[in-house]
Every structure is written in structure tokens, then in C-alpha cells.
Amino acid sequence: MSDVDVVLLLPEVLGTYGDAGNAAVLAARLRWRGIGARVVTVGWADAVPADGDLYVLGGGEDAAQVLAADRLRDSIGLRRALGRDAPTLAVCAGLQVLGHWFTVADGSRVAGLGVLDVETRPGGGPRRIGDVLADPLVPGLAGPLAGFENHGGVTTLGPGAAPLARVRGAGAGNGTADRAEGVVGGGIVGTYLHGPVLARNPALADLLLTRAVGELPPLQVPDGIPTTTAARLGPVTPDVRRRAGA
């Protein structure tokens, strides 16, 4: 079997929040299982390959996501990949760019790719910033998803999209009254969670990987990783749990 290609899209403009780490996590979790994997970085001047195994889009500022939308809207390679429901993770600005349209701070409405049945408008009030816990609504995920959100936009789902999770306690997620977090539609999993989200939620990484390569062999986690993870989450978790009432 040839290497699994994890296609990382435009990290120069959609790299503000460290979401490129999601591509590294996907590739690492394959390699740790003995499956060859590489991250294929698509820069501004590169064509998007149509035959990638997984696609990853990250978050960015309003100006950056306008650039990304302009660059990706007419990408034949990405259109083909999304048209065959290639597993795709889209975080925050990436999620918004895949929707029908989004509105940026100066009030102008910008066309997205229209492959997710969502619309994003300015939410008003303070920017949505902070830790989030959300209970997943899709099969294959057990425990709550954790991450960090930082966005002004509020995203409404149309009938062709379903929420990824439901926010527990504090946190905005999509920012709508139903407390939806993220979106699933076709092969796309969209979320407002940074972290990178797949580093903080390995089960979500494995869900995407399963869609790409089928059933995964068990993972032998290298010694020390659970300890390191617990140490890193230690200062954050009690506060999130307290705010979430968990």
C-alpha cells in the first residue's frame, strides 16, 4: 500500500491557531500503527491534489480566510476531493470557508465553496474565546470533545448539515441557541475547536482515519505519552470542568 497522503491546505493563511498540527497528528497516528503516511503541504502557489486521502483546513483571521476562500473556490482538485466525500477536517475559518458564505468584520459577505450547508454571520457581542467541552452527536465518539475557540462568526446549519456535538456548560461552539458545536456533512467534519483539536481528541483523529483507510490496527502508545498528556491537561481540565458543571 502506498503512503496515506494527508493534504494540509494553505497553512500560510490558515495557520494562525496552530491547526497544521492536525495534519501532523493524523500522519503520526498512522505511522505509529505501521502505516506509511506523509503530510502533503499545499502552499499558496500549489495546485490542490484531487487524490489525497485526507484534507485538513485550519483557522485564520477574517482577512486570511477571505484570501483562502478566493484561492480555494475555483480549485478543481479540492472540488473533486470534496465531491467524492474525501475525509476532511475544517477548523473555524476553514469551516466557514467551506460553507455557502460568511460575513467579515466590515460587514461584507464573502462566497465560500458551498460544499457545507452552513452560513456564517457576525455574532455581535464579545468575541467567543475560551475553552469548550462538547458532547459528540456522531457515532464513533464516546467522551466529550475538548478544545479552545476564538471566533467572531456565528454559524447556522441548513438541512443538509448536522451538528458535530452539543456544547456543555460555558462555551459558544457555533454560537447558535441550540448550542451546536461544529458540523458534519459529506466527508467533512467541521469544528470551532483549536488545540490542535486532533491532539486533544485522538478519537476524532481515529474517526477520520478510519474513514480514509478502514479499520485501524490497535495503537501502541509510546511510553510516556499518557503521562505527558495528563500533565499538559492538568492546569486546564479543572477549570473547564468547573465552567461546564461537569
Ligand X SMILES: NC(=O)CC[C@H](N)C(=O)O
Q: Is the separation of the CB atoms in 91 and 59 below 8 Å?
A: yes
Q: Which is nearer to ligand X, 87 or 153 (CB)?
A: 153
Q: Any known ligand binding at 31?
A: no
Name the H helices within 140-179. Answer: none
Q: Which is nearer to ligand X, 133 or 154 (CB)?
A: 154
Report the C-alpha gap between 88 and 57 in whole angstroms: 8
Q: Which of 27, 42, 89, 151 is close enough to bind ligand X by CB under 6 A?
A: 151
Regarding 60 and contact with ligand X (CB under 6 A), the answer is yes
Q: Could you give the string, one character per residue 61-90, with x where binding to ligand X holds by CB under 6 A and - elsewhere? A: xx--x-------------------------
140 grid coordinates? 464513533
Clarify whether 92 is annotated catalytic.
Answer: yes
Regarding 190 and contact with ligand X (CB under 6 A), the answer is no
10 grid coordinates? 494553505
Q: Is the separation of the CB atoms in 48 and 7 below 8 Å?
A: yes
Report the C-alpha gap between 97 and 71 in whole angstroms: 11
Regarding 150 and contact with ligand X (CB under 6 A), the answer is yes
Clarify whether 194 is annotated catalytic.
Answer: yes
> Applying CB under 6 A, what is the total number of residues that bind ligand X?
12
Q: Which is nearer to ligand X, 87 or 152 (CB)?
A: 152
234 grid coordinates? 492538568
Rounded to the nearest 5°, which phi and psi values hold at 233? -80, -20
Q: Which is nearer to ligand X, 48 or 69 (CB)?
A: 69
Q: What angle do CA 153, 15, 73 make, to 5 degrees?
A: 65
Q: Which residues are annotated as a binding site for substrate?
A: 127
Task: Enumerate binding residues for ligand X (CB under 6 A).
Answer: 17, 59-62, 65, 92-93, 150-153
- The residues carrying an active-site annotation are 92, 194
Q: Which residues are annotated as a binding site?
A: 127
